[in-house]
Chains A and B, each alone.
Chain A
């Protein structure tokens, strides 16, 4: 099944992800897909959840931390600056504390806690996770293309939603139990209604955000995940393992895109043994890919004569991928 056919048959799948090991072409395919969809008249946002994002490089435009930047008609690109997001968030927390308690400044102990919490390794991922919720919940675009982090990290990202979900359930349950005791005391003292629990409201808000993100990641109707592979043994072994793990998180896998296939026609020319060997090796693994993934192989993309950067090369690649 071709990539074009997949998109034509499933217009409801608006959240498109390209995942795979590092350096196989996730960003390149994300950009080419976004370009093709934009050319079809769809309003598209391609965004990166990778702290080492390279959308700026591929579009040859500095978009880091600048929100959605228009690349061309119908196409926007965004790289999330986690540090900037965390700083703005810290500012919000501080302001809330000052407003709530009328302090002149945030007490030392609390300020130290805010600083320490923000320096934790999980903070950056959490901040990106939250920023993605903002992006996708707004729903301003026809398509959202996620340029994902490499596989291991992507699994961590997926599991994060699950861990957060468990945390929020536990914390909310505790708060609800506390609430029950408060109400029991109020009834015994024959007091009027207990005050509204602001924390419980806040927890419900957080739960809504976590659910929004995890629902999108696992929504079989609206989400499509493509694995990017190249015809090499290690990559295929790792991808098969990752596909099993992704399936456990209920990520709807839509297909496999094979990248960097050395054109077989070169065999007709006078080529050095090095290249001949590469082609023969790839033949073996391409056969294996077809046997393993069958009609889930959505496209085979040849090794291009130069790296894909700039709109001209992105267009060329999109024409190859989407058969125009």
Chain B
């Protein structure tokens, strides 16, 4: 009995936790990730900006970071080089927090 009720309890707490996360935490987490992505765009610009025509002054040291940023290059380029409309602007809810 005990053995079978344990996973039920666990999944109940798990479900409750996920429910609470969805209710209170998810929006914050998504905005935090959004803010992180914006910072990452700036970071990529400062390290491999040459890829999109923005010179980076210490090319020697920025090259050292290249192996680590390879998985993000495509996404970053899509993010910074896509055409934008005025209506694209949206609020960053965590800004200034």
Asked whether A185 and B29 contact (CB < 8 A) given A97-B66, A113-B48, the answer is: yes
Give the contacts of A147-202 with B (CB-CB under 8 A): 160, 163-164, 167-168, 170-171, 174-175, 177-178, 181-182, 184-185, 188-190, 198-199, 202
Flag if A120 contacts B59 (CB, 8 Å).
yes
At the interface, yes or no: A100 with Cβ under 8 Å from chain B? yes
Flag if B32 contacts A114 (CB, 8 Å).
no
Flag if A118 contacts B67 (CB, 8 Å).
no
Flag if B36 contacts A181 (CB, 8 Å).
yes
Asked whether A126 and B17 contact (CB < 8 A) given A171-B46, A189-B25, A199-B69, the answer is: no
- Which chain B residues border A167 with CB–CB below 8 Å? 46, 57-58, 61
At the interface, yes or no: A275 with Cβ under 8 Å from chain B? no
How far apart are the CA atoms of A93 and B48 in the complex, in Å?
14
Instruction: Return the contact of A174 from the options B42, B50, B51, B61 (Cβ within 8 A).
Output: B42
At the interface, yes or no: A110 with Cβ under 8 Å from chain B? yes
Q: Mark B60-72, 1 if CB is under 8 A from A, else 0.
A: 1111111111100
How far apart are the CA atoms of A178 and B41 in the complex, in Å?
11
At the interface, yes or no: A135 with Cβ under 8 Å from chain B? no
- Which chain A residues border B60 with CB–CB below 8 Å? 86, 89, 122-123, 126-127, 129-130
Q: Can you name the residue of chain B whose Cβ is closest to the Cβ of A94?
A: B67
Asked whether A178 and B70 contact (CB < 8 A) given A126-B61, A185-B32, A202-B65, the answer is: no
At the interface, yes or no: B28 with Cβ under 8 Å from chain A? yes
Q: Can you name the residue of chain A whose Cβ is closest to the Cβ of B69?
A: A199
At the interface, yes or no: A206 with Cβ under 8 Å from chain B? yes
- Which chain B residues border A271 with CB–CB below 8 Å? none
Flag if A116 contacts B50 (CB, 8 Å).
yes
- Which chain A residues border B17 with CB–CB below 8 Å? 190
At the interface, yes or no: A96 with Cβ under 8 Å from chain B? yes
At the interface, yes or no: A6 with Cβ under 8 Å from chain B? no
Chain A binding surface, main DSSP class: helix
Flag if A97 contacts B63 (CB, 8 Å).
no
Q: Can you name the residue of chain B whose Cβ is closest to the Cβ of A182?
A: B36
Asked whether A171 and B43 contact (CB < 8 A) given A113-B51, A185-B32, A206-B61, the answer is: yes
Give the contacts of A51-78 with B (CB-CB under 8 A): none
Give the contacts of A88-120 with B (CB-CB under 8 A): 89-90, 93, 96-97, 100-101, 107, 109-110, 113-114, 116-118, 120
Flag if A113 contacts B46 (CB, 8 Å).
no
Give the contacts of B44-91 with A (CB-CB under 8 A): 46-48, 50-51, 55, 57-70, 73
Flag if B25 contacts A206 (CB, 8 Å).
no
Interface size class of B (residues with CB under 8 A): 35 or more
* Closest beta carbon of chain B to A43's beta carbon, Å: 29
At the interface, yes or no: B19 with Cβ under 8 Å from chain A? no
How far apart are the CA atoms of A174 and B45 in the complex, in Å?
11
Flag if A113 contacts B29 (CB, 8 Å).
no
Instruction: Return the contact of A181 from the options B39, B66, B69, B73 (Cβ within 8 A).
Output: B39
Q: Can you name the residue of chain B whose Cβ is closest to the Cβ of A165?
A: B58
- Which chain A residues border B70 with CB–CB below 8 Å? 97, 100-101, 107, 110
At the interface, yes or no: B16 with Cβ under 8 Å from chain A? no
Flag if B61 contacts A164 (CB, 8 Å).
yes
- Which chain B residues border A185 with CB–CB below 8 Å? 29, 32-33, 36
By a beta-carbon cutoff of 8 Å, the part of chain B in contact with chain A is 17, 21, 25-26, 28-29, 32-33, 35-36, 39-40, 42-43, 46-48, 50-51, 55, 57-70, 73
- Knowing that A122-B59, A185-B29, A190-B21 touch, tell me 16 more A-B residue pairs with CB under 8 angstroms: A89-B60, A93-B66, A97-B70, A100-B68, A100-B70, A101-B70, A117-B62, A120-B55, A122-B60, A160-B58, A178-B43, A181-B36, A182-B36, A184-B32, A198-B68, A202-B65
